[in-house]
Amino acid sequence: MSGRIQWPDGKDFAFTIFDDTDHTIFATVRDVYAFLSDSGFRTTKSVWPVRGKQTPVNGGDTCENPDYLAWVVNLQSMGFEIGYHMTTYHSSLREETIAGLEKFAELFGQYPTTMANHVGCKENMYWGSARVSGVHKCIYNLLTLNRNSKEFRGHIAGDEHFWGDICKAKVKYVRNFVFPEINTLKACPYMPYHDTKRPFVNYWYSSSEGANVKSFNSMLSEKNQDILEEEHGACIMYTHLGAGFYNGRVDAQFQRLMKRLSKKNGWFVPVRTLLDYIAEAQGHHNITNKERSKLERKWLLYKVTIGTT
C-alpha cells in the first residue's frame, strides 16, 4: 500500500470531484456542469431524491423538481455518477430513508454507490464524535463543546433514525475525512478501507478540501496540479458546486485552472470508478488501529488549525 498506483491507459494521475448538492439550484449549476463536461471531466454529483418538509440548514433543489431531475438523469447518461446526499436536506426517519433510497433506485436505475453525510441530518452514519475513536473522540467533544456527541444516530440499531443495515446492503462508499492536500491518496493511502469498528459502512473514502469556489481554486493551484501529476496521485475534491462557482457566468479562475488540469494526462472519472479501481489494485483493506489513529490525529489537527470539514 504505497499510495502509488498504475493508472489505466498510461494516465499520469487521477482526478475527480464529489459535488455535495447543498445550495445547488438547477438554473445556476447547469452551466458549471456544461463546462466540466466540455472539458472532459466525468465526476460525481450528489442529489436529494425527496423534497423535505422542514427548514434545512443548507437546502437546494431536489429530484422532485422535474426540470432539475431531467437534467440530472441526462448527466448520468453522459457518464457522470449520481451520488447520495441523504434522502433530503433535513433529518429522515428510518422509513423515510428506506423510501428515499427506493426513490433513488427508481430514478437512476440503481442504488447509490457513493454517498456523503449531510450537515444536520440525524441519520448521518458514524458522524459527529462517532467519526473518531478513543482519545480523539474526547478531543473532538472538547472542541465541539459536546454538541455532536449524540446528535448523529444512523448507525445506532433501534434508534428511529437507524439505517445502518440498509447502508451496508445498498451503499458501497461513504466519505469521512477531508484533508487540505491535493493528493488524497497520499493523505489517505488506505482508501477505500473498511473499519471493523464501524461495520455498517462497507468502505470509507477521504477527500481533498475545497468546499467553496475560493478554497477549491486555491487547492487546484498550478503548483498543486503539478504535484498531483508528479506524485502520480489521485485527488477526490469535496466541494459544493452550487456555492459560488456561478455568478452570472462560471467563475473565470475555476475555468482557467480546470482547463489547465484537463490538458494534462489525467484520468478523469467519477468517484465510484476511481475507488473501484484503487480497491482492485490494492485489495480489500481493514484499517488497522495504528492507521486509524494516524488518520484521525491528522484530521483533528487540520480541523483545529484550518477548520477542514
Q: How far is the CB of 94 from Zn ion (least distance, A)?
A: 20
Nearest to 177 by CA among 300, 47, 1, 45: 300
Q: For Zn ion, which residue of 19, 20, 81, 123 counts as binding (CB under 5 A)?
A: 20
Q: Which is nearer to Zn ion, 3 or 242 (CB)?
A: 242
Q: Which is nearer to Zn ion, 87 or 282 (CB)?
A: 87
- Say whether 84 sits in a helix, a strand or coil: strand
> Using CB under 5 A, which of the segments 19-27, 159-167, 182-190, 271-279 binds Zn ion?
19-27
**22 contacts Zn ion (rule: CB under 5 A):** yes
Q: How far is the CB of 187 from Zn ion (least distance, A)?
A: 21
First-to-last alpha carbon distance for the chain, in angstroms, is 26
Q: What share of the chain is helix, strand, coil (3-state, %, to 5)?
A: 40, 15, 45
Q: Compute how many residues bind Zn ion; rule: CB under 5 A.
A: 3
Q: Which is nearer to Zn ion, 7 or 80 (CB)?
A: 80
> Using CB under 5 A, which of the segments 12-20, 254-262, 273-281, 285-293 binds Zn ion?
12-20
Nearest to 154 by CA among 177, 121, 188: 121
Footprint on residues 112-171 left by Zn ion (CB under 5 A)? 118
Q: Which is nearer to Zn ion, 46 or 282 (CB)?
A: 46
Write the DSSP assignment of 70-122 as a string of letters.
Answer: HHHHHHHHTTPEEEE--SSSS---HHHHHHHHHHHHHHHSS--SEE---TT-T
Q: Which is nearer to Zn ion, 24 or 113 (CB)?
A: 24
Q: Which three cell numbers stand for residue 204?
A: 470509507
DSSP 9: G
Binding mask 60-99 for Zn ion (x = CB under 5 A): ----------------------------------------
Q: Which is nearer to Zn ion, 261 or 271 (CB)?
A: 271
- For 120: left if phi > 0, alpha if psi spans -120 to 50, otherwise beta; the answer is left
Instruction: Give the residue carrying C-alpha cell 488549525.
Output: 305
C-alpha–C-alpha distance, residues 229 and 210, integer Å? 18
Q: Which three cell numbers stand for residue 298?
A: 491528522
Q: How far is the CB of 118 from Zn ion (least distance, A)?
A: 4
Q: How far is the CB of 197 from Zn ion (least distance, A)?
A: 25
Q: Which is nearer to Zn ion, 121 or 250 (CB)?
A: 121
C-alpha–C-alpha distance, residues 282 and 270, integer Å? 18
Q: Are 124 and 111 in contact (CB under 8 A)?
A: no
> Using CB under 5 A, which of the segments 21-29, 59-67, 215-223, 274-282 binds Zn ion?
21-29
User: Which positions touch Zn ion (CB under 5 A)?
Assistant: 20, 22, 118
